[in-house]
A = this chain, B = another copy of it.
Amino acid sequence: MLRITILFLIVSISASAQDSVIIRNIYNYALTKSSAYNRLDHLCNEIGPRLSGSKNAEKAVQYTQQELIKAGADSVWLQPCKVEYWERGMQETGWYYEKDKKMPLRVCALGASIATPFEGLEAEVIEIYDFKDLEKIGKEKIRGKIVFINHPMDPTHINTFTAYGECGGYRYNGAKEAGAFGAVGVIVRSLSLSISDLPHTGVMAYGDNGIKIPACAVSTRDAEKLSAAIKSNGVLKVGFQQTCRNNGEVTSYNVIAEIRGREYPDEIIIAGGHLDSWDLATGAHDDGTGVVQSMEMISIFKNLGLTPRRTIRCVLFMNEEAGGRGALAYAAAADSLHENHIAAIESDRGGFTPRGFTFDGDTAEIEYAKEFKSMLTRYSLHEWDKGYAGTDINKLKKQGTLLIGYSPDSQRYFDVHHNAADTFDKVNKRELELGAASITSLVWLLSEHGVTSSPLKN
């Protein structure tokens, strides 16, 4: 009995020491030889914005597929999915009248919105703070008006995603809710914590009642200006013009690269981000960084000669921004092929300096994963919290997969999210590389030690 205990102890320590060395090598590689920054440069500056269904999204599929083949993955394949190809059209304009003077509003159409009439839509404005205000004001007063939803994100949350979570519904459901009260259009305050001139786009959806009204976002600075004008002058007329349209369904693809597991090839661990982006910038932080970090995991495994015990995959999802069809296609294939995904990591919170991971799944598995934490705190990964992991991997939840969200620092994210500032120059090379190393290290530990029983003794 004593001998067995000692033996276990030795196995445990040696596994842990070996892991330590491998993780140090992963970070050294990422910080000195990574391709992540150059690949991001290509994705942003050679290809550009990657709206679902667009030519650029197709180019991104081809580019990442070729890069993953060059990186030496055992297999690389495309997984088809149908996506709606919505386009913005001409640059939008917005305006309001302050004592007969026409003042500009910086606006942008929300994704999936219909266009206004070509000459624009103009009506009296009603400002609301939340959807309860619609009830209070009532259909009679709202009918024929443009509803302006002015709900600032709460700056007192330390993690900015909490504030985003509280407000996302105003953008997504604003047109549906205001339309049901007879509004003819909706203008939503941009989801940002900074006062800025740039409007933030993002997806919205209509309800099943057939009512569709044009929806746009206004910059936070102009939201403040419009609100002040309403308060000082009473009812005002506002207007906006947008020519966006839906071109219908197009076939697009997820890009998948795999390294087969040396011992348990049927147990799969994925790391992924999404290939598509919004069109106002080049999708650097959302989600170019998640894409190149997931690709880098394959490059690092191959370049360091690491053969994972379990199968690992880089999954580049299509259409996260505008329907999540890629995620649905991936989960459907996993189901029909009876694939066993034991863990999935998503990187879709920007490419900022690493903070940790969020875990969503079985309590025992979350506790088990926490045992890895001590190996990664020296790399500034301190936050190992229970929490939502990510939209694309969330579709695997019904399989019982342990879902893990990579969590970089959140403070700057909503300065660039979905707006014209989300460009390559906002990404810091080291922060990007540290993120790639963080994800790769956790994939290594999961691939060696699985997701159940004591990890460092497995």
Which A residues lie at the B interface, using CB under 8 A?
27-28, 31-32, 155-156, 158, 160, 193-194, 353, 355, 377-380, 382-383, 409, 411-412, 415, 428-431, 434
Q: Establish whether residues B353 and A380, one from each chain, have CB atoms under 8 Å apart when the complex forms.
A: no
Query: A158–B378 contact, CB under 8 A?
Result: yes
Known contacts A382-B383, A383-B382: A412-B428 contact under CB 8 Å: yes
Determine whether the beta carbon of A430 is less than 8 Å from that of B380.
Answer: no
State the copy count for this chain. 2
> Which residues of chain B are near A28, meaning CB under 8 Å?
156
Bound complex: CA A414 to CA B25 (Å): 23
Known pairs A429-B194, A430-B193; A158 contacts B409 (CB<8 A): no
Find the B residue at minimum CB distance from A355: B380
A415 and B382 CA atoms in complex are apart in Å by 24
Contact B383 A411 (CB under 8 A): no
Complex Cα gap A160–B27 (Å): 14
**A378 → chain B, closest Cβ, in Å?**
7
User: In the bound complex, how far is the Cα of B411 from the Cα of A429, in angstroms?
Assistant: 9
Assess the B411–A158 pair: CB atoms within 8 A. no
Indicate if the CB atoms of B380 and A158 lie closer than 8 Å: yes
Known: A193-B430, A411-B434, A412-B428. 6 other contacts (CB 8 A): A32-B155, A32-B156, A158-B434, A194-B430, A353-B411, A411-B430
**Cβ distance A41 to chain B, nearest Cβ, rounded Å:** 13
Q: Say which residue of B27, B378, B380, B411 sits within 8 Å of A431 (CB atoms).
A: B411
Give 7 nearest A-B pairs by CB, closest first. A382-B382, A31-B155, A411-B430, A28-B156, A353-B409, A353-B411, A411-B431
Measured between beta carbons, the chain B residues less than 8 angstroms from A160 are 430
- Cβ contacts under 8 Å, A380 to chain B: 158, 355, 383, 409
| CA of A193 to CA of B430, assembled, Å | 9
| Chain B contacts for A155, CB-based, 8 A | 31-32, 430
Which residues in B have their C-beta under 8 angstroms from that of A158? 27, 378-380, 434
The CA-CA distance from A412 to B353 in the complex, in Å, is: 9
A160 to B380, CA, bound (A): 12
Residues of B contacting A353 in the complex (Cβ-Cβ under 8 angstroms): 353, 409, 411
Q: Find the residue from A28, A156, A193, A383 having the highest chain B CB count within 10 A.
A: A156
Cα distance, A247 to B334, chains bound together (Å) = 74
Contact check, A411 vs B428: say whether CB atoms are below 8 A apart: yes
Between A and B, 29 residue pairs with Cβ closer than 8 Å are: A27-B156, A28-B156, A31-B155, A31-B156, A32-B155, A158-B378, A158-B379, A158-B380, A158-B434, A160-B430, A193-B430, A194-B429, A194-B430, A353-B353, A353-B409, A353-B411, A355-B380, A377-B382, A380-B409, A382-B382, A382-B383, A409-B409, A411-B428, A411-B430, A411-B431, A411-B434, A412-B428, A412-B430, A415-B428
A415 to B428, CA, bound (A): 9
How far in angstroms is the closest Cβ of chain B from A184? 35
Q: Return chain B residues, CB-CB under 8 Å to A431.
A: 411-412
Rounded to whole angstroms, the CA-CA distance of A194 and B428 in the bound complex is: 10
Contacts of A31 in B (CB 8 A): 155-156
> Bound complex: CA of A377 vs CA of B158, how far in Å?
11
- Cα–Cα distance between A377 and B428 once the two chains are bound (Å): 25
Shortest beta-carbon distance from A326 to chain B in Å: 31
- CA distance in complex: A240, B378 (Å): 42
Residues of chain B within 8 A of A156, CB atoms compared: 27-28, 31-32
